[in-house]
């Protein structure tokens, strides 16, 4: 059973407090939305969970193991995968190679052909199987986003953090991504989804975290959070009027 615990995370960038005492726990395959206005610290929090940044103070545990001291690849191996706000496909490698990298990185003795079948399944699920041998740079922006999601399936983590998965995506692809999230979640992977798309995030997630200038101001059921006066004042109020 997955357990991710972030304890009292602080982060300063040269005196600027970006995160102030953020604590939360994820237990089991939850589907969590992380929202907040621009500059709230969402991406910083992602980077800290992922190991790309070290917190100024505080700890992160995953299944009882401390992960905030590990480098990003150590965190990935512990079972946490993520996407980036800007798509970061390996542009001059083929789609298939893109998918093989995380699978190979996770297992020291594996060979490429062991994963080709699984890669094919993932590609079919994401509707980009025909692009298998194309270079990633030849894909459209939305397809590259799907490719990133596919890489995460090959990594097979217990928890997935998606940074703005719906931003700038064609409605058709949005459907694929939506299906990806719900089905993968049903298979037992936890999700944290950062998004500006309020409607999607409210219908999709079953728990909401709200960051406001480094403070975690709300944590709970979306319907409850929506009515929270703090959240309204800080964020939703201005947005919905």
**Positions that interact with other proteins (CB under 8 A):** 10, 12, 14-15, 50, 52, 54, 56-57, 71-73, 76-77, 81-82, 84, 86, 88-93, 97, 100-102, 104-106, 110, 112, 124, 127, 129-134, 137-144, 151, 155, 170, 172-173, 176
Which of residues 73 and 221 has its CB atom nearest to other proteins in the complex?
A: 73
Q: How far is the CB of 141 from other proteins (least distance, A)?
A: 5
Q: What backbone torsions phi and psi does residue 80 show, to the nearest 5 degrees?
A: -125, 120
Q: How far is the CB of 235 from other proteins (least distance, A)?
A: 27
Residue with tokens 């939360």: 24
Of all helices (H) and strands (E), which one includes residue 13?
A: strand 3-13
Which of residues 87 and 185 has its CB atom nearest to other proteins in the complex?
A: 87
Which of residues 64 and 168 has its CB atom nearest to other proteins in the complex?
A: 168
Distances, alpha carbon 148 to alpha carbons 17, 26, 166, 191, 212, in Å: 31, 23, 13, 15, 28
Q: Supply the DSSP symbol for 38.
A: T
Which of residues 137 and 206 has its CB atom nearest to other proteins in the complex?
A: 137
Q: How far is the CB of 138 from other proteins (least distance, A)?
A: 4
**Which residue stretches of 14-164 are H helix?**
42-50, 72-78, 95-106, 113-125, 141-155
CB 32 within 8 A of CB 108: no
Q: How far is the CB of 210 from other proteins (least distance, A)?
A: 25
């Amino acid at each position: 059973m997955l357990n991710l615990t972030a304890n009292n995370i602080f982060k300063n960038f040269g005196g600027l407090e970006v995160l102030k005492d953020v604590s939360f726990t994820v237990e089991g395959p939850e589907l969590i939305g992380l929202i907040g206005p621009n500059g709230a610290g969402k991406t910083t929090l992602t980077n800290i969970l992922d190991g790309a940044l070290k917190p100024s103070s505080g700890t992160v545990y995953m299944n009882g193991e401390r992960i905030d001291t590990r480098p990003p690849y150590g965190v990935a191996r512990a079972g946490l995968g993520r996407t980036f706000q800007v798509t970061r496909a390996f542009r001059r490698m083929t789609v298939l190679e893109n998918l093989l990298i995380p699978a190979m990185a996770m297992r020291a003795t594996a060979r490429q052909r062991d994963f080709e079948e699984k890669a094919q399944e993932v590609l079919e699920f994401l509707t980009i199987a025909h692009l298998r041998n194309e270079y990633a740079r030849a894909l459209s922006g939305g397809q590259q986003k799907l490719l990133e999601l596919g890489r995460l399936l090959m990594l097979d983590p217990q928890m997935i953090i998606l940074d703005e998965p719906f931003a700038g995506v064609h409605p058709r692809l949005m459907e694929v991504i939506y299906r990806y999230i719900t089905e993968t979640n049903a298979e037992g992977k936890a999700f944290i989804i950062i998004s500006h798309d309020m409607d999607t995030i409210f219908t999709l997630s079953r728990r909401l975290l709200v960051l406001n200038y480094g403070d975690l101001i709300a944590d709970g059921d979306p319907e409850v959070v929506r009515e929270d006066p703090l959240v309204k004042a800080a964020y939703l109020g201005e947005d919905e009027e």
